[in-house]
Amino acid sequence: MDALAITLQYVFTGVAIGSIYAMVGLGFNIIYNCTGIINFAQGEFVMLGGMFMVTLTTVWKLPVGIAFPIAVLLVVLVGIGFERIAIHPLKNPSVLVLIMITIAGSILIKGLAMFAWGKEARYLPHFSGETPINIMGATILPQTLWVLASLLTVVVGLAYFFNRTLIGKAMRACAHNPDAARLVGISVKQMVTLSFGLSSGIGAIAGVVITPIILMDYQRGAMLALKGFGAAILGGLGSAPGAVLAGLLIGILESLGAGYISSHYKDAIALIVLLGVLFVRPGGLLGSADVQRLKKF
Amino acid sequence: MLKVQNLKSYYGRLQALRGISLHVGKGEIVTLIGANGAGKSTILNTVAGLVSQNEGKILLEGKDIRGLAPERIVRHGVALVPEGRQLFAPMTVVDNLELGAYVRHKNGSKIEIRQDMEMVFDLFPVLKERRKQLAGTLSGGEQQMLAIARALMSRPRLLLLDEPSMGLAPKISEEIFRTIVRLKKQEVTILLVEQNARMALEVAGRGYVIETGQVVVQGPSADLLRNHEVERAYLGKTYEKVWE
């Protein structure tokens, strides 16, 4: 392979994992916009999506087309259930308390997943076989196309939801000005529940499509969440286009770093870039500095 | 329509209202005047449900709505146009209006909502020109019009207006007040809080003067406009002028 093909190969690999970071980052943003908190259980939704998919396809022998929506639905139920039980009943909780609750939720879900699926990594067959597709000397797995298609679907779906539907607009209204939203009759608490449902669903989609490539184990979510969080911050917390752009960027950098420098430093490279950008642009790539000043963190 | 009895509101340990009683009849415009910090806005915010610590009674057509959440109260037909407009700035004019009708969407009344949007465009033609513009990019006067229009979209029986002329040029304020008079003709009941006491008393039938969380004077607007204390404190006349 010539140098160009090798680079292209690294980019393809990076785009696949970067799409996952992007989706996790989108999930962070949805909950952040609605509640002002970072949901540290976001990575667990990704892990659960993959794990449910493994069980549904290998134990229950369901075809991918049926198992996929069921797995996502199950995770959405977990997300909504988590919000209903742990967050909904609180009256005027502080941001710090909410964040600690999500950390506790993350630990709890991780523990339960360990009981349910064991400690070893779980394998999921690729959805459309493993015959690589050749593009300019580099190869791309059909599964990567699944990942990209999911990211595209999620982005288009979210754009439609937030700009065209009444509920989506109501969620934006409540993110922008909760008091005014309540005055027109929007129940902020309902919107918070909905935001957990939505972001757990997106996390689950990411988990389902990435599991065949990276395998899934009970503590895999944490690292994915960290990178997804990096994507959300790098893109500018709250900005959806920012999260997508930054997610892909982190994924590609990580993959190039692993290829050209050393795979030992792959996580470090991505995080150093993250820190570097934040030194220059504290608001993130697509966030504005003025908005940043008003944020709680 | 609205009857407030012995209402006391608190912000933490600070008591903002010390037993307010007032009433607003159907189709009436009633104004609350008073200095900054007297508690006028607190009265509106408490009626709309935004101030959660309170005691007393807020009767809307005989039903006590005190203690309900704001999103429930708007379903009872009370709409607040808050101080400082509180628009959804990153959204378009049409989106803001659509969200104003949020409580009505569930009944599947799309055509009615369209008609109402035409109605508010008729009331504020400039909003129709700006329908695709983001609310945050409108001028102050246009934003105030949009805030009123958004509240009207919920088809309120009682409209609470908090300082609609704040920060606006006199000419724009007059336009807003002309609209308030037009709303009265459409039999919308209005409780109006205003710094500009003279303008408020000119459109309102009755008024209450609020000082440190209490009603100190009340009566028909014509009487208040002639009341010496009110003239001196809120209409900008000195004692000398009053006695001359």
Q: Show me where the domains of chain A are located.
A: 3-280
Of the pLDDT bands very low, low, confident and very high (cuts 50, 70, 90), residue A296 is low
- Note the pLDDT of residue A278: 82
Tell me the nearest-neighbour CA distance from A182 into chain B, angstroms. 5
Residues A185, B103: C-beta atoms closer than 8 Å? yes
pLDDT at B155 over 60: yes
Res B138: pLDDT: 93
What is the pLDDT averaged over residues B172-186?
89
Please give the pLDDT value at position A135: 86
- Chain A from 145 to 184: CB within 8 A of any B CB: 166, 169-170, 172-173, 176-177, 179-184
Q: How large is the average pLDDT for residues B98-124? A: 87
Asked whether A30 and A76 are in contact (CB, 8 A), the reply is: no
> Given a cut of 90, is residue B160 above it in pLDDT?
yes
Q: For residues B193 and B44, is the Cβ–Cβ distance under 8 A?
A: yes
Average pLDDT over residues B147-170: 93
Burial A50-87 (b: 16+ CB within 10 A, else e): bbbbbbbbeeeebebeebbeebbebbbebbbebbeebb
Mean pLDDT over each residue of chain B, to the nearest integer: 90
Pairing of strands B14-24, B158-162: unpaired
Chain B neighbors of A179, CB-CB under 8 A: 50, 70, 82, 86
> Does residue B57 lie within any of the structural domains?
yes
Contacts of B48 in chain A (CB under 8 A): 183
Assign domain A3-280 one CATH number from 2.40.10, 1.10.3470, 1.10.510, 1.10.287: 1.10.3470
Residue A291's SS3 state is helix
Q: Is residue B141 part of a domain?
A: no
The packing angle between helices B170-185 and B110-123, to 10°, is 130
Mean pLDDT of A143-148: 94
pTM (two decimals): 0.88
Least trusted range by pLDDT, from B108-112, B123-127, B142-146, B207-211? B108-112
**Vertex A68: Cα angle to A155 and A8 (nearest 5):** 55
| Residue with the two structure tokens 């593009």 | A135
Read off the pLDDT of each residue in A39-61 and give the average, rounded to a whole number.
95
Q: Say yes or no to pLDDT of B200 above 60.
A: yes
Beta bridge partners of B58: B4
Query: What are the tens digits of pLDDT across the range A212-222?
Result: 999 999 999 99
Domain-located, residue B99: no
Q: Are strands A138-140 and A133-135 parallel, antiparallel or unpaired?
A: antiparallel
Q: How far is CA B1 from CA B16, B31, B39, B208, B215, in A?
A: 24, 15, 21, 17, 19
Helices (H), A184-265: 188-214, 220-235, 240-260
The H-assigned helical ranges of A83-139 are: 95-117
Nearest partner of A179 among B59, B184, B88, judged by Cα: B88
Residue A274, pLDDT > 90, answer no
Residues 6+ apart with CB under 8 A from A241: A235, A286
> What residues form DSSP beta bridges with B64?
B59
CA Rg, chain A, in Å? Answer: 19
Q: What is the CATH number of the domain that holds B24?
A: 3.40.50.300
Distance CA A134, CA A31 (A): 39
Domain around B66:
2-77+156-235
Q: What is the CA radius of gyration of chain B?
A: 18
What is the distance between the terminal CA atoms of chain A, rounded to a whole angstrom? 46
**In-domain check, residue B185:** yes
CA–CA separation, A6 and A29 (whole Å): 34
- Residue A53 · residue A207 · CB < 8 Å: yes
Q: B121 CB contacts (<8 Å, ≥6 apart)?
A: B127, B128, B131
Q: Which residues of A touch B87 (CB under 8 A)?
A: 177, 180
Residue A274 CA from chain centroid, whole number: 17
Which residues of B are less than 8 Å from A166 in CB distance? 98-99, 102, 105
Which residue, B63, B56, B65, B62, is CA-closest to B5? B56
Q: What is the mean pLDDT of residues A159-187?
A: 92
Is the Cβ–Cβ distance between A32 and A95 less than 8 Å? Answer: no
Beta-strand relationship, B206-211 and B29-34: parallel
* CA atoms lying within 13 Å on the CB side of residue A61: 0
pLDDT at B244 over 80: no
Residues in B closer than 8 angstroms to A181, CB to CB, are: 88, 99
A222-262 per-position pLDDT tens digit: 989 989 999 998 998 888 999 999 999 999 999 998 888 88
CA distance linking residue B107 with residue B116, whole number of Å: 15
Which residue in the set A172, A183, A188 is minimally distant from B48, CB to CB?
Answer: A183
**Tell me, what's the pLDDT at B232?**
80
CB contact under 8 A, A186 and B99: yes
Chain B neighbors of A182, CB-CB under 8 A: 49-50, 69-71
On whether any CB of chain B is under 8 Å from the CB of A3, the answer is no
Residue B160: its H or E element: strand B158-162
Q: Which amino acid is at A48?
A: L
Average pLDDT over residues B64-84: 93
In this model, does residue A293 exceed pLDDT 60?
no
Q: Which residues of B touch A (CB under 8 A)?
A: 48-50, 69-71, 74-75, 79-80, 82, 86-91, 95, 98-100, 102-103, 105, 150-151, 154
Q: Across chain A, what does the average pLDDT equal?
A: 90
Domain-located, residue B30: yes
Backbone φ and ψ for B9, nearest 5 degrees, come out as: -125, 150
Q: Does the beta-carbon distance from B50 to A187 stay under 8 Å?
A: no
Alpha carbon distance A202, A26 (integer Å):
8
Number of separate domains in chain B: 1
Bridge-based pairing of strands A133-135 and B63-64 is: unpaired
Q: Which residues of B touch A185 (CB under 8 A)?
A: 71, 74-75, 102-103, 154
Please check whether residue B63 lies inside any domain of the structure: yes
Query: What is the average pLDDT across A108-126?
Result: 93
Nearest chain B residue to A184 by CA distance is B100
Whether the pLDDT of residue B145 is over 70: the answer is: yes
Is B92 part of any domain?
A: no
Tell whether the model's pLDDT for residue B107 goes beyond 80.
no
